[in-house]
A = this chain, B = another copy of it.
Amino acid sequence: MTVTTPAGFRAAGVPAGLKSTGAKDVALVVNDGPRFDSASVFTSNRCKANPILWSQEVVKDGVVRAVVLNSGGANCYTGAEGFQTTHAVAERVADRLGIGAIDVVVCSTGLIGLANPRQNLLDGVDAAYDALSATGGEEAAQAIMTTDSVHKQVVVEGAGWSIGGMAKGAGMLAPQLATMLVVLTTDAVVEAADLDRALRAATRVSFDRLDSDGCMSTNDTVTVMASGASGITPTLDDFTDGLTQACTDLAMQLLKDAEGADHEIAITVVNAASEDDAVEVGRSVARSNLFKAAVFGKDPNWGRVLASMGTTQAAFDPADLDVAMNGVWVCRASTPAEDPAGVDLTPREVSVTIDLKSGDERATVWTNDLTHAYVHENSAYSS
């Protein structure tokens, strides 16, 4: 059930002393081919960490042969020295594998503004290389955890091919990715250009619609590598469907593990004039601290839903909006309708449905509630 489930991949996760706990903190995922197609998406934050600056160059030719990841330090806002550390790590991986450093994606996560100890990282790469195994995916997934309470993996089976994936992330999940590292593998034969199309389609409706706290990280990376080891070439539609399923599964695992959350909230906007409108409206509600605090308090406060929507430019009539919470239409035509007392917000899963009555498009955005524990974790944890 890991990145090593598809044929052609080896992985490892080892402790390198970056985490003070002594837990695993360096992961390596290697594509042994025969093909080395790849695609990646990165955070859209303009203040990018050094590993992003490096990896953006690596992925340009559509060839990636290995991804090396570390937790215990984000290598962000660490200047030229930090960039050299990233470069040195890629070089070390390349040396051991006998490949070029320009085919090695580097990902880092953890505290920002602190230099990563270079020697620990290089020693960690050596140890990870020595530990590489066709069953090492699970250990790699463990090595990238930070505040995650569980490691996150997925496998999607196609007809003679498969997709494996691992992810790291808890809280700080925002649009266009955020403090999230994802590595996906497949043994299908997929050309780099098609991988790129499939990955963008998959992330657009999964990770990009996760908005845990509106904050956007500096280190987020999603990379997919295709080994072609199955010898099977799925249709692009089939592959995109599988990749979307894998990304959505991982996104839901990230959502459920958001720091300090009590509820997972799915905001579905229907009958929008455009999908963009639906996403904009869903996002505005997902970012309302007042609405999120109300859900924590088990208060089906649809007024805060409408107040958030009013800040958007989406097409709708402010006087003719319907809102349901957990299936109870508490608001019709922007006025009170069914009794909110009928909305049970005890279960973790909450659904909000918003009818814009302006078209045929729809989208779902996911978020969490705003809790005491969120404030506690994010005031106590320096990152």
A20 at the interface (CB under 8 A from B): no
Name the one of B287, B294, B308, B376 contacting A379, with C-beta atoms under 8 angstroms: B294
Q: Report which residue of A113, A302, A335 has the largest number of chain B beta carbons within 10 angstroms of its beta carbon.
A: A113
Nearest to A306 among chain B residues (CB) is B47
CB distance from A368 to the nearest CB of B (A): 11
B296 engages A379 (CB within 8 Å)? yes
A307 to B79, CA, bound (A): 15
B379 engages A307 (CB within 8 Å)? no
A45 engages B372 (CB within 8 Å)? no
Collect the chain B residues with CB atoms within 8 Å of residue A293's CB. Answer: 374-375, 378-379
A114 at the interface (CB under 8 A from B): yes
Q: How many copies does the complex hold?
A: 2
Q: A26-34, A118-126, A147-155, A210-218: which lies at the B interface?
A: A210-218
A308 engages B215 (CB within 8 Å)? yes
Collect the chain B residues with CB atoms within 8 Å of residue A335's CB. Answer: 77-79, 113
A contact patch SS: loop
A334 to B294, CA, bound (A): 37
Q: Report which residue of A47, A218, A299, A301 has the largest number of chain B beta carbons within 10 angstroms of its beta carbon.
A: A47
A2 to B77, CA, bound (A): 50
A77 engages B331 (CB within 8 Å)? yes
A21 at the interface (CB under 8 A from B): no
A328 at the interface (CB under 8 A from B): no
A111 to B318, CA, bound (A): 18
Collect the chain B residues with CB atoms within 8 Å of residue A46's CB. Answer: 309-312, 318
Nearest to A218 among chain B residues (CB) is B307
Collect the chain B residues with CB atoms within 8 Å of residue A114's CB. Answer: 336
A172 at the interface (CB under 8 A from B): yes
A89 at the interface (CB under 8 A from B): no
Collect the chain B residues with CB atoms within 8 Å of residue A48's CB. Answer: 310, 318
Nearest to A288 among chain B residues (CB) is B215
A76 at the interface (CB under 8 A from B): yes
A380 to B288, CA, bound (A): 16
By the criterion of a CB under 8 Å from any partner CB, how many residues of chain A are at the interface? 59
Name the one of B111, B215, B302 contacting A113, with C-beta atoms under 8 angstroms: B302
Name the one of B45, B218, B296, B306 contacting A77, with C-beta atoms under 8 angstroms: B306
Q: Report which residue of A114, A213, A310 has the largest number of chain B beta carbons within 10 angstroms of its beta carbon.
A: A310
- Which A residues from 337 to 383 make CB contacts under 8 A with B? 370-372, 374-376, 378-380, 382-383
**Known contacts A79-B335, A303-B76, A214 near B287 by CB under 8 Å:** yes
A336 engages B113 (CB within 8 Å)? yes
A193 at the interface (CB under 8 A from B): no
B172 engages A290 (CB within 8 Å)? yes
A333 at the interface (CB under 8 A from B): yes
B375 engages A375 (CB within 8 Å)? yes
B303 engages A113 (CB within 8 Å)? yes
**Known contacts A214-B289, A375-B375, A47 near B297 by CB under 8 Å:** no
A79 engages B333 (CB within 8 Å)? yes
Collect the chain B residues with CB atoms within 8 Å of residue A254's CB. Answer: none
B77 engages A334 (CB within 8 Å)? yes
A188 at the interface (CB under 8 A from B): no
A296 engages B375 (CB within 8 Å)? yes
Nearest to A305 among chain B residues (CB) is B47
